[in-house]
Every structure is written in C-alpha cells, then in structure tokens.
Structure 1
Amino acid sequence: MAEARTLLTVIITTSVTPTAPSTELISTALQSFRSFCPDLLTCNVIVVFDGYDEIQSTPRLKKGRVTPEQAKSYGIYKTNVKKLILEHYGKHESGAAFAQSEGEAEFGGLRAGPNSVQFTTSVTLDKTVSFIEPSKRIGFGLAVRTALRMTDTPYVWVHQHDWVLSADIPLGALLDVMQASSSEPERPVKYVCLPSPRNLSYDTCGEVVEFPTLKTLTASLKAEFSPKLYPDAKIALTPLFHWFDKPHIASKAHYLERVFPSRLAMLRGDFIEDKIGHVCRTQMKDGQWSKWATWLYYPGEGQTHCVTHLHGRVWVGKEAEDKKIAELRSKGLTQAPKQGPKPEPVYDTAIFQQDSEE
C-alpha cells in the first residue's frame, strides 16, 4: 500500500535474550506482522540492536550484564536477525550492499565526562532497511530516539521484539485518521497505542473513572472516526492517559518534541513509559491531554486486544512456553498471580515543559 510506505517507518528494538542466537522471538513478531498487518512489511524498517556493558559470570540483562556465552551468542544473533529482516523485507539478494556511518547517542546525567554512547549504522543503498548497533547499552528510550533521528517519514511504528500482533490492524485507515486530525486542534491524534489484555475496557477502568477530568475527557472525545480514504472503515479510539512502550504508531515530530525535548529527558537505560508516562499522566489530570494527544485503538468496544507480550527476558521459545503453560493448567493455574500497581516515580516535570530540542 503506497500510503503506508510513504508515511510510516517501522522501528524494531532488540537486545540480548536467553534464546539467542535463535531468532524465534523476533521471527514470531514478524510472522504476526504478516498475519495481521502485512502493510508493515512494505515500509522502511530500522532495527536497533541494543548493546551491553559488562561480561560477567552472573547475567543481569536489564542492567546490561551478560555472560561470556551470551556475549558470543548475541554476535551470532545479530547476524541471524539481519538476514531475517532482509528476507522479510524483500531483500533476498546475497551480499546486499550497505552504507555505513557512525554517531553518538547522548543522554542526561550528572556524571563527569561525556554522556554519550557511540553507535554504528548500516543502511541499504535504497535506504529501506537500516541497522543501528550501539557499542554499549543505551536502553529502549535512547534506542527509539536514535532511530527517530534517522527516520524520513512523518509517522513511526515502534515495536519491541517480544510483542506480537493478535488481531487485524487497519494501518492505512489509522494513518488517515492521524493525518486528518491535524485540522482538528481540539481532537489531535498524535499517538495511537495498540491494546493488550490489560487495556480491555479501558474507558471504564479505575485509572479513568476515578478522576473527574479524565472521565469527562473520555466522554467527550471517545469516538469512531471515519477515514476519508477508507469510507467503509470505522476506527474506534478512546483517549489514553499514559504513554506506553508497547506497540504504537506516533508522529515523529510529536515524539521528538514531547518525549525528547532535551538530552536531559532520557537517561541511559530508561524506558519511555516509566520516565514519560507518569509525567504526561500527571499533566493530563491537570487538563493538558491535548498536549500529548495519546489514544488507545479500541475495536470491539474495548473487548479486543491486538497485541500480546512474550516477556523476552524470560521467554525460552514457543515449545518450552507451551509445555510450561500445559503444566500450569494441569495444576489448575492458568495465569500468573496478579501484582499490585507499581508506585509512580517522581521526575522533574520541568524538562518536559520545553517545546524544542536542545
């Protein structure tokens, strides 16, 4: 679909996983693209391979610490993923030529010395496939920002390697709604998150109805949009009062302006939803929802989830996961115990009041 190809770039982030050098995790995500949103495979794609900081006997992947075996496997994994991406995005020729360059991912912090990580990029000559490889761990937030700066399209699809699609996504119609909203300052659509099982019935959940401002916004803004280019489509959206990392579509310019207003906005290793999500939610409670313009795709009146999380840091492959689930079911345990909500961190919200990037 020409509209998707010209409007959107797919950003995929990946890192060291227990299943490396197998590509089963990211391959499962790509297969879900083919099943539920094949237009994603026609767009330009940028893959960010996050690095690691230390090699030691005990792994702590979230802290960038890997074992010697994992470090070796990750090198093989990156080679395997590059081949996989080229195949899925139609680059079947052997020995594809790349243009290579180097850059720096800068970040906030108080430590002495330069706060940046070197990275290398490899881009196919037609600029449709790009790979970014930081020399150390930068984390999800900086991985997304680094890819955004290489993007030539007005919109991006951000996808972590351990999420899979589970329902049809009308990509062209969603993009049409987002473009048309630029003429509706009272109802801008700058970010659309895809619902996971935890987002079902979001418009009536406690995170919304217990706050009068959010409840009123939902009642006034929730709607079915009619894309001009897709007259038979109805795109159901409800206001979202957070900025999640799970798969989403967003305006590139809005992303850079709101999430990355300066280098201080993101520390190395930060996740966007942890750092920015609580900031924007606080501002929305004060009536600033339109500043962030975040929406949740809401098919089936909020009863259809479109993405599923595979939990990459502990995922051991589909066969092993199926066996684990079967064992739990045999014991009458069909799901993990629910955890209480995490306390909301406190951040310097002044950083996100700025309107331009330093």
Structure 2
Amino acid sequence: MIMAVIESFKFLPGLAECPLLVTCDGAGKVCDQVRPKRGFVTAELADKYAAYVHGLQDALGANRVLVLPEREGFGLAVKAAVARVTTPYVLLCQHDNMFVRPIDLERVIRIMEANQDDLKCVHFVSPKSTFEVEGNKDGGCNQGAAAPLSLKRIEDRLGRLAGSARDFGETKEDGAAQHAGAQSPSTFWPMPSWLERNHVCSTAHYRDFVLGPETKLKPGQFIEETFGQRMRQDLAAGGSHRPYGIYRLLDDPESATLHLDGRAFLPVLEQKRRGWRVTDLYQRLELRHSAWLAAEAGGCWSPGAPLPPWPPMPISGSAAGSSKNF
C-alpha cells in the first residue's frame, strides 16, 4: 500500500526528484494479545512486520526508511521524521492516502514563499471537503478570484471559525513577482483545526510550532487530537488564525486524494492469486495519468484547467487489474 501511495506521487510534477523518507513505527509489545492500536502484538505479527519493513528497505533503500525502535504512534513518529528533514518544506503523506489527480505543487510552494507570514501549511481537497464552482455544478475548476465558490459542504463539516476563503498569489508584499510566469491568484480556505491528511508545510513551522514545546504528545496520540484541539479552542475563543497559517487549496472541486482501506488492502497480484474480483482503480488511474501527460505535452492542459475525464468502469465481467504498484 505504501508503494501505491509513492507511485501516486507522479501526479505532482517535480516530487520524484525530492528526498523520500518512509517512517515505520515500532511493532509494539510482544504478548498474547492482538491489539495493534494499543501497541500489543503477538510474536508472529511482530515477525511479519519486521519482514515487511525489511522489504521496504530493500525496495527503497535503507537510508529512505526510518525505523523507530519502539512503538510511538502517529504523532511522535511524524515528529521523529520531521526532525530529520533538511529541506525548507516537507510534504507529509499518510500510508493510506494516495493522490489521484495532478496538483501544481511547485506553484503552491512559490505562493507559500511569497506569503510566508500567512500561508504556512497547505492541505488538499479530500473526498469529504469538496466544493462547487458557482454556475458549474458538474465540475470544472477554480480560476482564481473570478470564479465564485460554494463552500457549504466543507464549512458544514469543519465550521467557519477561521474565516472565509482568501486569494494568494505569487507576488510578495512589495509587489515583486516570485516567478517570471506568475499566474493569477489561487484560492485557499483557512482551516479551523488540524486534520491528519496529506499536506505540505514549512519545515520550521512544523518543527517549531505544530510540534513545538506546547504540543505535548504521548505515545499513540495524533497531532489532530493535541495540537488540533488546542488550535480549535484558541480560534473559538477569538484567537487569530495567522500564527497557525493552515489552509486548504481550492484548486479543483474533485478530490485530490483517495483513502485506501488498510484492513482490506492487498496488492493486485495477490488479489488475482486468490481468485478475487480485482478492482480496476489502479488501471484507471494509470490511464488517466497517461491522458494527462499527453494533454500537457500537447499544450492543451495547464494547471487549473479541467482534467481528462475518468476512464469508464467496465460494464461486466472481471475488472481488469494492473500489475503496477500504482
């Protein structure tokens, strides 16, 4: 499943050239109980997990896999990983959240660079936080301030404690453009709390503020239930959103990510070996990625433009599976 997520990075141009670090938590206490979320596993499960980690090291390289000696849980595992990041920005992805459409990540970074005091962390559109472009209920994408957005769905779910959507561009406060081909501003929605989803963040902000001294993490805890709750309480009491600087990019109403079911996930080849009806998701993503590359090469697609449509689902029979780890 991790390999499927890594393969989906191809939807973010330039990301393949960036350093990669996969963090593996410790297996937990070996005993007769099977309660992984509490840190209790049998010797058999611990051995299987160790073999899985070794497989990742063989596939990705030992220097790309950080193995924690003890079970720490999500929050402390992220903290251990961020402490090793040397780049000014870090993209954090969960092991079960893959990208399913293009994101102009390089432009997002340029906008963050030009608005460092306000825009410190950017999350992406997820299945439960989509929006609509007014006058285009069937889809389409946001073309900046000129396209009114309906944010009812995301605001109904997360609230409006942090205020309304804002436009940020690639221009600094002094009016100087960050990039020769700077485009019109993009729309970002201020998040009222932290969510454990794929996001890009200033490394210093992550290390010194999100995971700073005031964020007390215990083994097994999530950032969402510690820092996230403190943030929400602060905003509810009238605090400023600016120190947090956490936004969601509203670049396209279609979800940018897809959550994989970790309990039911099996590689395509293993599904075939068991005689299961194989999902065609990965094949459809591969076809869509190829169509996007062809459109981009032909000059008929640019960031912010509508994507090629999803390939149709098979009408009958066994769905075709892809042997690639997409």
TM-score, structure 2 normalization: 0.68
Q: Distance in 1 between matches of 2:129 and 2:87?
A: 28
Structure 1 partner of 2:119: 189
Higher helix share: 1
In the TM superposition, what is the alpha-carbon distance from 1:241 to its structure 2 partner? 1.4
Q: Distance in 1 between matches of 2:158 and 2:210?
A: 26
Structure 1 partner of 2:144: none
The one-letter code of the counterpart of 1:290 is R
Q: Quick one: structure 1 residues 169 and 154, their matched pair in 2 at CA, closer, same or farther if it must change by over 3 Å?
A: same
The one-letter code of the counterpart of 2:152 is T
Q: Distance in 2 between matches of 1:198 and 1:165?
A: 15
Structure 1 partner of 2:208: 257
CA-to-partner distance for each residue in 1:219-245, whole Å, 9 max, x for gaps?
xx4225346324247533211112111
Give the secondary structure class of the aligned counterpart of 2:243.
Answer: helix
Q: Distance in 2 between matches of 1:28 and 1:144?
A: 20
In the TM superposition, what is the alpha-carbon distance from 1:75 to its structure 2 partner? 1.5
Q: 1:65 is matched with which residue: 23, 40, 50? A: 40
In the TM superposition, what is the alpha-carbon distance from 1:57 to its structure 2 partner? 4.1
Structure 1 partner of 2:265: 315
Q: Distance in 2 between matches of 1:141 and 1:80?
A: 24
Q: Percent identity?
A: 25
Structure 2 partner of 1:46: 21
Q: Quick one: structure 1 residues 62 and 288, their matched pair in 2 at CA, closer, same or farther if it must change by over 3 Å?
A: same
CA-to-partner distance for each residue in 1:229-267, whole Å, 9 max, x for gaps?
242475332111121111100011111222222286111
Give the secondary structure class of the aligned counterpart of 1:282.
Answer: helix
Give the secondary structure class of the aligned counterpart of 2:242.
Answer: helix
1:138 touches 1:268 (CA, 8 Å); kept in 2?
yes
Note the 1:278-357 alignment, pairs <5 A. 278-285=229-236, 286-300=238-252, 303-318=253-268, 323=277
Cα RMSD, aligned residues only: 2.9
The one-letter code of the counterpart of 2:98 is V
Is 1:241 equivalent to 2:217 in the alignment? no
TM-score, structure 1 normalization: 0.63
Q: 1:79 is matched with which residue: 54, 58, 62? A: 54
CA-to-partner distance for each residue in 1:78-125, whole Å, 9 max, x for gaps?
121123224xxxxxxxxxxxxxxxxxxxxxxxxxxxxxxxxxxx64xx
Q: Distance in 1 between matches of 2:89 and 2:250?
A: 20
Q: Quick one: structure 1 residues 314 and 259, their matched pair in 2 at CA, closer, same or farther if it must change by over 3 Å?
A: farther
Please list every run of 5 or more consecutive structure 1 residues that lacks an aligned counterpart in the other structure. 1-24, 87-121, 124-129, 327-358
Structure 2 partner of 1:350: none
Q: Quick one: structure 1 residues 192 and 58, their matched pair in 2 at CA, closer, same or farther if it must change by over 3 Å?
A: same
Structure 2 partner of 1:27: 3
Higher strand share: 1
1:213 touches 1:287 (CA, 8 Å); kept in 2?
no
Give the secondary structure class of the aligned counterpart of 1:192.
Answer: strand
Give the secondary structure class of the aligned counterpart of 1:197.
Answer: coil
Q: Distance in 1 between matches of 2:4 and 2:70?
A: 26
Give the secondary structure class of the aligned counterpart of 2:224.
Answer: helix
Q: Distance in 2 between matches of 1:131 and 1:142?
A: 16
